[in-house]
Amino acid sequence: MRLRGYVGRMRWGTRTFLTQALVVAVGVITAALVAMVVGPPLFHEHLQQLGHLDGTAEMGHVEQAFLEAGVRSLGIGLVVALTLAIGLAWLETRRLRRPLEQLTAASALVEAGDYKARVPDTATSPEFNAVADAFNDMASRLDSTETSRRRLLSDVAHELRTPLATLTAELEAVIDDVVPWDHDSQQLLTLQAARLKKIAADLDDVSRAEEGRFTLDTHTQPVWDLIEPAVASVATRYEAKGVTLSADSDPGSVAADPQRVGQILGNLLDNALRHTSAGGIVHISARESRDEVVITVTDTGDGLTPDQIAKVFDRFYRADTARARDAGGSGIGLTIARSLALAHGGSLTAASPGPGHGSIFTLHLPTAPAPERVLIDS
């Protein structure tokens, strides 16, 4: 038990070296014993076949000479072999120990919360390189997740700050009789409460979207049956702002969840309305192309720069921060829309000729049901 405990406390390199040395030593001793046991009888048999008689002085001298020569040569050879084998085992152990120590050190840093830790590339072996690459990929994902978590907490705090501050200020003003409790105060509080409710709903949606927990009720239906309700739901707001909204569609069908596609189109139309001034035009159209339906939402609004296009689907990203926040956008509608498109087995992309020249959002949906990839809806 004491020996086992002592061995268990040894470092990996020491244990590996001692194990290899023990294997080599056992092999050498075994070879020597086999040679000592098997060699002399065989040599004696060959002498008899050559006509030498047992018990003669000549035969005894020859056998003694063979035994001594064999023991010396075998002993020297085995010592040399044992020395070389132990040396090679020590070198190999030392070569393997360094990447393992690097991996251990990097693992300790990751465990302590330092997700920037990486295992450097080594030329030890393909297996060690594969382990190092897997560890680095894991650390990168953890670092990305931690960065997203911190950004999400910061963004959520920022999003909640404005409506909460408005609610608090208005309530304090009403309580202190600075402003009367009238229709305007009630409308303001209702509006801010609705904004908080929308932010909470959007956060839940984006969380479930990124975790793949959307449940889709997918079936084939005319694409116009998806576009028409989305247009009707925003028509009043478009008219109130003075933005022209038009729509057309090929007579094709699409495999989709009408509620979720309505959510995608609603977010796209809301986004277009926020960034299109009075007198502008927003047009939604659908075209069938091979095994998919392509729905585009085109506006004559603010437009996007290449850098904005690259970030437009990021959570809480706003091309025009002040205008989007004043308009009540949560900043994650497009994130949710793209996640829903991916859940359908399609895609959602953005393009723009440039600032001031409008934007084009393109939704691709399959005409056949997407492979089953949806998990559990919480």
- Judgement on whether residues 185 and 271 belong to the same structural domain of the protein: no
How many independent structural domains does the chain possess? 3
- Judgement on whether residues 238 and 361 belong to the same structural domain of the protein: yes
Q: Domain ends where: 112, 127, 158?
A: 112
Which residues fall within 8 angstroms of residue 227, CB to CB, at 6 or more apart? 247, 249, 265, 284, 286, 295
- Judgement on whether residues 66 and 33 belong to the same structural domain of the protein: yes
- Judgement on whether residues 89 and 157 belong to the same structural domain of the protein: no
Of the two residues 225 and 199, the one the predictor is more confident about is 225
Q: What are phi and psi of 361, to 5 degrees?
A: -110, 130
Which residues fall within 8 angstroms of residue 65, CB to CB, at 6 or more apart? none
Q: What is the pLDDT of residues 248-262, one digit of tens each?
A: 988 888 888 888 899
Q: What is the pLDDT of residues 328-376, one digit of tens each?
A: 455 678 888 888 888 888 999 999 998 988 999 999 998 865 444 443 3
Q: Which domain holds residue 253?
A: 219-366
- Judgement on whether residues 93 and 189 belong to the same structural domain of the protein: no
Domain contains 128: no
Give the per-residue SS3 of 306-362.
HHHHHHCCCCCCCCCHHHHHHCCCCCCHHHHHHHHHHHCCCEEEEECCCCCCCCEEE
Alpha carbons within 13 angstroms on the beta-carbon side of residue 52 total 17
- Judgement on whether residues 171 and 94 belong to the same structural domain of the protein: no
Q: Is the pLDDT of residue 25 over 60?
A: yes
345 Ramachandran zone, left/alpha/beta (phi>0; psi -120 to 50): left
CATH number of the CATH domain containing 334: 3.30.565.10
- Judgement on whether residues 197 and 181 belong to the same structural domain of the protein: yes
Q: At which residue do the structure tokens 């506006």 appear?
A: 299
- Judgement on whether residues 83 and 191 belong to the same structural domain of the protein: no
Domain contains 262: yes
Out of 91-105, 139-153, 155-169, 282-296, the most confident range is 282-296
- Judgement on whether residues 244 and 358 belong to the same structural domain of the protein: yes
Q: Residues 265, 338: contact at Cβ < 8 Å?
A: no
Q: Domain ends where: 211, 241, 260?
A: 211
Domain contains 118: no
CATH number of the CATH domain containing 198: 1.10.287
Distance CA 184, CA 173 (A): 13
0.75 exceeded by pTM: no
- Judgement on whether residues 299 and 251 belong to the same structural domain of the protein: yes
Q: What is the pLDDT of residues 133-192, one digit of tens each?
A: 888 888 888 887 777 677 767 767 777 777 788 888 888 888 888 888 888 888 888 888
- Judgement on whether residues 229 and 359 belong to the same structural domain of the protein: yes
pLDDT of residue 209: 64
Domain contains 39: yes
- Judgement on whether residues 249 and 354 belong to the same structural domain of the protein: yes
